[in-house]
Amino acid sequence: MKRPLKVALVSPYDVAYPGGVNSHVQNLSTNLEKNGVSTTIIAPASAGYDNSIPNLVRMGSSIAVPTGGSVARISFSVWLAKHIRNFIKKEAYDVVHVHEPFAGALTLSVLSKVLDNGPIRIGTFHSFEGSHLYKLIPDWVLQKFFRKLDGKIAVSEPAKCYVQKYLPSEYEIIPNGIDAHEIHSLQPYKQFLDGKVNILFLGRLEKRKGLRYLLSSFCDLKWKFPQIRLIIVGTGEMDSETQRILGERNPDDVLHVGTATHEQKLRYLQTADIFCSPATGQESFGIVLLEAMSASIPIVASRIDGYKSLLGEEEAFLFSAGNSIELSEKLSILIANKQMRNQMGSHGRKKSELFDWAVVSEKILNYYLSFTSNLERDRLRNF
């Protein structure tokens, strides 16, 4: 019996804290396994991490580092390098797939310790403007480790353009994925199905997510459309401007529900009539936009690079980032026109299926296989 393809998926980010890259890695692992690939996730994990993550090999803990208006929890455990080298050599992986190769000691250690005649080395670049990774690491260090990569993936055109400024090369664009079908097995929150038009904000309450602009717009629209409701789902503390708007204008029908599990988040998407993402920048993609499309709801989002590359006019209205007046105009159209909401939601639903993990993971698997010889590729396809 021929053995399956064996892949190590390396994340620099602490799995004890939810985030886009870790979600990507865990979903990729699950879907590669469905295709018969043997996977291991290698990542730092602080106390309290989810020990139900399958195939996780814990490599140290993390330190919180501010970056791009957010906080990255990454490992600086350089002492793990020798252990990493021995582990990868012992496991005899066919592919070592490193996500955000320059985000901390773990991913750099993997690149530095994998032998040149060892497994295929793939790097996926997720970051966009706002990340300081490439500004903090000396160019000679970047180039030294970058040359060790056999293949390079960017999750979007903006992510590709960003990394190419520092590391010019050929990049394959393979987007983030979602489970485009799981949301339809869940029920909306019935207490919000009372005839009001539910506008949903979903994301961390960081300043760059732009909640203050949506809240200002909502307060203005509430006079014209008293039947609207704003549901805010997200962790963290509101910035001072957002708090000021809430305190001064004291709008009715604004509900902040705080933290939500993945299932709860999808239920709120099922409950919403309109999804709004008013981020001001530094977004390379926008997983939550895909999830909103899978829920068959229209989107109003800021016209930033990471969103423009994903959203079309059939499923979304775009507005100038930070422009509450323009945001109000777009929301007004959808609030007043249920038929348009349904049509845009239907287009989004169809588009979301192109990003289903079954599709995305197959693209990544085929990219792995493109680096093997014809003979080896045949062996791996027929294990």
Residue from 381, 383, 340, 342 nearest 362 by CA: 381
- Condensed to tens digits (0 to 9), the pLDDT of residues 71-99 reads 666 666 666 778 888 898 899 999 999 99
Q: Does domain 6-177+356-377 have CATH number 3.40.50.2000?
A: yes
- The C-alpha atoms of residue 191 and residue 157 are separated, in whole angstroms, by 40
Reduced to 3 states (helix: H, G, I; strand: E, B; else coil), residue 374 is helix
CB 22 within 8 A of CB 15: yes
- Condensed to tens digits (0 to 9), the pLDDT of residues 351-360 reads 999 999 999 9
Mean pLDDT of 24-42: 95
pLDDT score of 290: 95
Q: What is the pTM of this model?
A: 0.86
pLDDT score of 1: 44
DSSP summary character for residue 190: G
Mean pLDDT of 152-170: 92
* Cα R_g (the chain), whole angstroms: 22
Domain ranges of the chain: 6-177+356-377, 182-355
In the structure, what pLDDT confidence band is assigned to residue 378 with cuts at 50, 70 and 90?
very low
- The C-alpha atoms of residue 221 and residue 199 are separated, in whole angstroms, by 12
> What CATH number should be reported for the domain whose range is 182-355?
3.40.50.2000
Q: Which amino acid is at 205?
A: L
| Domains 6-177+356-377 and 182-355 alike in fold | yes
- Condensed to tens digits (0 to 9), the pLDDT of residues 272-319 reads 999 999 998 777 678 899 999 999 999 999 999 889 889 999 999 999
Residue bearing tokens 């814990």: 58
pLDDT score of 64: 61
pLDDT score of 130: 46
Residue from 373, 206, 207, 352 nearest 275 by CA: 352
Strands of 184-247, DSSP E: 197-202, 228-233
